[in-house]
Structure 1
């Protein structure tokens, strides 16, 4: 399928506008950014002139996702379902707003007349090796963009302002894949994405590990002694704390949404007393200078990303595979021991196990028939183990696990990332 492009002179598109544009401007290749927009009234959308103003006015998309199911009463006293079923999921498609990058002038786009579908519009998603549309969280220059490029070389990377938006971009066929972080060797797990894996019905189809190489960036001509503030993602600030002190920087640390966004914010607002911790690519994109290279405290700093798709891949046995599952039980720790013994007795190595406490409300579990049940769980357990679901031992292990659990779901069985990893070197 061809990449999506925003129409010229538009400042906010709802999903219906996107569909119409998709079949009328197929040759345009302008990059778009998917964002969560907050409607001020029925006909317009309000946002500030800067990215910070825009971020602060975003509605929380998680309150508008598949867990919402609204119905209205029709004229005959029946129920008219306002939730569209897309890829087997009920979701209100009008809740997802798309905003083109670099065209936030407040102009109202002219309505685009729809054109009939053609056979090319109904073509299947691109196969491996074809140009894929890959959603990631952040702005261009983010480490997630680099992970998307490593996972799918020559892909069309689509930036999203929230993790949830990246999930929905795949579910709504705006993107073919999503590449999202799940854990960092220093900062630990990204719990938000583990929660979203359970909320949504996407499948893990691969993993990629990316070494994190931090740089200290500032506007051209700015020297380190001029700085009074350093901004970046909270984890990036924590990962460079000791090095910033060794550089003699007596500066305030301020957390922002993402590393590349910090670089963009400095360039957009011409902040001459502020530096960002971000990648060298972010410096190139936003016209900043690298004041210090490789400033992470620990050179063994790596983030693990997972690749998500609408359909699972067929597991194989001709190469190392990893399988991710999530399960729950409510009968105490003795059950957890029995669950883990199902893997130990079959010589299956666990690479990760993590518990997540339940929310103070029922968790909605959706099966393939879209029939939901609500139940309180004491804990959810996320487990990764080194085996393919094509192996009999893995199938038997899960069959035994199912006997002791009240809920079990396979998040994906996928090839392990076997590429050599070289720790980031620190620059002078």
Structure 2
């Protein structure tokens, strides 16, 4: 048996040779990219790559075939990324120009005062999120999430604040579905600690409550508590609206799952505190605008991506993030209405907007998917 140190020395020597060959390969990739740019050819030649990968896979023993395919897929992805950075596709070049313009024109400080659209009524968690994002928001309340999108699209409100995911109940699917239908940009996000309380009419007792009103997410987050007590549930558009409904009722056997602030606001009693199933219950909210605004320090980006309906399509997108060492902090899929078995993928990535790998990604992401939308770059308010 060979000595371990001698084997490692041999590996180091081989790796040095691989690095030298990799440099030569990338120089050739640059020449290919220059030729394609001069002749207005697309960077991705899927037929050529497929045939080349097949030939390489056939040239190695069966037990190495899978590893070889993965290695060369990454090599080819790295080549495309390098070419794409130097030759952005039309959509990528347009997005980069818009991003540069937004960075140059957006003020250094995030606004302290603003007209903001929120879903629900006074006391909603969206209100708390708006007050965390802005120092002095002037809030207009709307009955639905779609109305918030419309208020921003039409210019009625400069900003809108919408819940997008909860740490225990998951994504707010209705909001993600509406993202496909409206034009907007994300300018900031924040997280709000959610503490659900059982509210009732003054004089009511917790053991008397037979029915509860609240938002679907709040009901899901308190499922164990409700099941244990055998309480019937009714879904409302908002937790604050549920509290308002109970306050306006003459019944003492109904309650609301809502915040303690809503108890004070609507003259209700807190019958039981913190009835959510988990204490680490946070909801993430997005602040949206019509125009693209990118404030200093933006280190997160949101994208909507549709991939081709074929094997390996999503892998080609994911490999871009891997090659560029960009961390994906959220990946959500939603079915596209009217298109059977096709999905829109929502990506939140962790990468400073000023980083070179971000520019490389935006220059070439369109080559790996059927279509995409850049939703904005931002920071998360704490």
If the TM-score is normalised by the length of the shorter chain, which range does it land in?
0.5 to 0.7
| Closer/same/farther in 2, CA of residues 320 and 311 from structure 1, 3 Å limit | closer
- Preserved contact between residue 144 and residue 237 of structure 2 (Cα < 8 Å): no
2:353 and 2:177 map into 1 onto residues whose CA distance is 23
Cα deviation, residue 390, structure 1: 2.6
1:93-132 aligned at under 5 Å gives the runs 128-132=110-114
For 1:404 and 1:250, the matched residues in 2 are separated by 51
2:375 aligns with one of 388, 405, 411: 411
- Could you say which residue in structure 2 is the equivalent of 1:353? 331
Cα pair distance change 1:383/1:268, threshold 3 Å: same
Which residue does the alignment assign to 1:257? 237
* Structure 2 counterpart of 1:339: 317
Deviation sequence 1:108-166 (CA, Å, 0-9, x none): xxxxxxxxxxxxxxxxx9x8444311111111111111111111122111111011111
Mind listing any 5+ residue stretches in structure 2 that lack a counterpart? 1-106
CA distance in 1, matches of 2:368, 2:112: 43
Per-residue CA deviations over 1:178-197 (Å, capped at 9, x if unaligned) read 00011111111112222222
What is the alpha-carbon distance in structure 2 between the residues aligned to residue 343 and residue 315 of structure 1? Answer: 23
* Residue pair 2:202, 2:269 contacting (<8 A) in 1 also: yes
Give 1:279-290 correspondences, 5 Å limit: 279-290=259-270
Instruction: Report the secondary structure of 1:333's partner residue.
Output: coil
Residues 333, 129 of structure 1: alpha-carbon distance in 2 compared, 3 angstrom cutoff: same
Aligned pair partner of 1:385 in 338, 341, 349: 349
Give the gaps of 5 or more residues in structure 1. 1-124, 362-375, 420-428
CA distance in 1, matches of 2:204, 2:183: 48
More helix by share: 2
Contact 1:325 1:410 in 2 (8 A): yes
Tell me, yes or no, if the aligned pair for 1:218 and 1:275 is still in contact at 8 Å: yes
Partner of 1:157: 139
Equivalences for residues 48-127 of structure 1 within 5 A? none
**Cα gap change, 1:314 to 1:129, in 2 (>3 Å):** closer
Alignment of 1:6-405 (within 5 A): 128-244=110-226, 249-314=229-294, 316=296, 319=297, 321-360=299-338, 378-405=342-369
Partner of 1:78: none
Distance 2:117 2:176 in 1: 17
How does the TM-score come out when normalised to structure 2? 0.68
CA distance in 2, matches of 1:206, 1:333: 35
State how far apart, in whole Å, the 2-side matches of 1:128 and 1:138 are: 25
Matched residue count = 276
CA contact (8 A) 1:315 1:390 kept: no
Q: Which has the higher contact order (CA 8 A, sep 6+)?
A: 2
Report the Cα distance in structure 2 between the residues aligned to 1:139 and 1:193, rounded to whole angstroms: 18
The Cα of 1:174 is off from its aligned counterpart by 1.7
Secondary structure in structure 2 of the residue aligned to 1:380: strand
Structure-2 separation of matches of 1:298 and 1:211: 11
- Deviation of the 1:292 alpha carbon: 0.9
* Secondary structure of the corresponding residue to residue 186 of structure 1: coil
Whole-angstrom distance in 2 between the partners of 1:335 and 1:237: 37
